[in-house]
Amino acid sequence: MRRYAADPDAGLAPYAAHQATSLGRQYSEESHPYRGEFQRDRDRIIHATAFRRLIYKTQVFVNHEGDLYRTRLTHSLEVAQIARTVARTLGLNEQLAEAICLAHDLGHTPFGHAGQDSLNTCMRPYGGFEHNLQSLRVVDELEDRYADFPGLNLSYESREGILKHCSKRNARELGELGKRFLEGRQSGLEAQLANLADAIAYNNHDVDDGLRAGLISVDDLRELQLFNQQYERARREHADINARAIIHETVRGMINHIVTDLLEASAQNIEAAAPATIADVRLQATPLISFSDDVYAQHMQLKSYLQKNLYKHERVLEMTQRANWIVTGLFELFFADSSAMPPEHQQKADSWAAETGPAGRARAVADYVAGMTDRYALSAYHRLVDASLQF
């Protein structure tokens, strides 16, 4: 086979994540003849079962409420698109940034944050549940695709980005990966970027979905600086287009405005700190990828508005209550009777229970429930718990 000699680190800034200085994988592997290590991470994530399931997992609105609302999958793709643009412009590792973004929600439960909160309540006596940590469990342990190792065996840098926050209690159990939370160190710039790309995507795209659903209004949003500036610009520059197109143009303008600010502010931060390597980035007192103070205030104003008016809207809260019934009902059923789960999950629950008691059984049940899609969870609840519940 012809061996391709392209350097995967070519063109990267010195402070970016370089394959040549990567902290490696948990299980040693031979390098690939024509794919770099961070590209391999990205490719493994795309082929993962958990990634495919994201298409039927809630972002804000349950999947069957409409074909045009965002799901965890479309959200992840939008996050990756934002991160790739910024990474390329700043000289960061675009493939690593994309890999982190595509994997950041792999551990999310069915029914979005409502499902996570319910599962965390169920797991509180057994160590709790947090989707960020669960995403790491998915890529480290739960994906079963390779003969030589569990999980996806991603690089340290990808795993670092997936674990964007962690309690000190959990960090102590994660070895080298958890040290930065105990020592107050920063992650690499690609991981910092993925975190803010996520926030940009869900803030601005939830505006689009909320307006489409009729749960928030343009008149109310015009009280927000970020929205109103772009709305007025769209109406001024495109007076002949329809109302829906004005909204698309407004949201597009909001994202462009905030991403441009992120680029400019981050470039200034990097220039001032002058990190020579990713090791220098990790020693900074604060993240170098950030917004300006003015745009950060606009971003937070929009986030607060959505928290109050969209995520706590009575229609969303009604879905939240039903999600709680489903997730809690399934967890309690499977915890009491592991034979109600498929054989491979029953075997895991019984085996872990024999080793560590109820906490082991609970973790196995949580892994199974968290991996469900919205429609699978609803179907299982109808079949095993209560056929009368409707969404």
Q: Which SS3 state, helix, strand or coil, does residue 79 take?
A: helix
pTM for this entry: 0.94
DSSP letters spanning 325-383: HHHHHHHHHHHH-GGGS-HHHHHHHHHHHHHHTHHHHHHHHHHHHHT--HHHHHHHHHH
Domain with CATH 1.10.3210.10 in the chain: 34-314
* Confidence at residue 69, expressed as pLDDT on a 0 to 100 scale: 73
Alpha-carbon distance of 337 to 133, in angstroms, equals: 26
Could you tell me which residues are beta bridge partners of residue 25?
155
- 183 contacts 177 by C-beta, under 8 angstroms: no
Per-residue pLDDT of the chain (391 residues; tens, 9 = 90+): 455 557 889 999 999 999 999 999 999 999 998 999 999 999 999 999 999 999 998 776 555 455 557 789 999 999 999 999 999 999 999 999 999 999 999 999 999 888 999 999 999 999 999 999 999 999 999 999 999 999 999 999 999 999 988 888 889 989 889 999 999 999 999 999 999 999 999 999 899 889 988 899 999 999 999 999 999 999 999 988 998 999 999 999 999 999 999 999 999 999 999 999 999 999 999 999 999 999 999 999 999 999 999 988 888 888 889 999 999 999 999 999 999 999 999 999 999 999 999 999 999 999 999 999 999 999 999 999 988 877 6
Alpha-carbon distance of 40 to 388, in angstroms, equals: 45
Pick the CATH number of 34-314 from 1.20.140.10, 3.90.1150.10, 1.10.3210.10, 1.20.272.10: 1.10.3210.10
* Nearest-5° Cα angle at 229, 225 to 233: 170
Q: What is the DSSP letter of 12?
A: -
Helices (H), the chain: 37-46, 49-53, 72-90, 94-103, 112-123, 131-137, 156-162, 168-171, 179-183, 189-213, 218-221, 225-237, 243-273, 278-282, 293-309, 314-336, 343-356, 358-370, 374-384
Nearest to 122 by CA among 359, 321, 331: 331
Type of residue at 263:
L
* Confidence at residue 127, expressed as pLDDT on a 0 to 100 scale: 93
* Confidence at residue 391, expressed as pLDDT on a 0 to 100 scale: 64
